[in-house]
Structure 1
Amino acid sequence: MPKENCLIVRAAGQRLDLLRGEAARIAKGANAGWWTDRAEIGTRFCFEDFKSKELFALTCDSLGITCQDG
């Protein structure tokens, strides 16, 4: 799977569950797919389109959760 539209997030427990819900909502709104993978330093959230990735990054920022390109 391509990883150009991925972000690595450092979150666990309920915060990670919240992010999964937000990722699903964003991807559904864009009619695009998404998935997660384990990363060395967190969880990698990947989206089929760039716009969804950017919206997810803004969501992470608004929740005070650190994310980086991955």
Structure 2
Amino acid sequence: MPKENCLIVVAAGRQLDLLRGEASRIARGAKADWWIDRAEVGTRFCFEDAKAKESFALTCDSFGIPCKDG
């Protein structure tokens, strides 16, 4: 699967559950698909839509959860 619209997030437990819910909400709003992969360090959240990825990055920032392109 292509990884151009992916972010790597380092989170666990409730934070990861929160981010899954937000990713689902964002993707549904963008009418795009999303998926999660394991990364070397953290979890990779991938979106079909670049705008959904950017919105998810802003969400991570608002929760104080670091993320990076991946």
Structure 2 residue runs without a partner (length 5+): none
Q: TM-score, normalised by structure 1?
A: 1.00
The question of 1:51 aligning with 2:45 is answered no
Distance in 1, matches of 2:49 and 2:29, equals: 12
- SS of residue in 1 equivalent to 2:11: coil
1:1-70 alignment runs, 5 A limit: 1-70=1-70
Query: Aligned residues, how many?
Result: 70
Q: TM-score, normalised by structure 2?
A: 1.00
Structure 1 residue runs without a partner (length 5+): none
- Counterpart residue identity of residue 43, structure 1: T
Distance in 2, matches of 1:44 and 1:56, equals: 12
Q: Which runs of 4+ in 1 moved over 2 A?
A: none
Distance in 2, matches of 1:40 and 1:2, equals: 17
- Counterpart residue identity of residue 8, structure 2: I
Shift of 1:39: 0.2
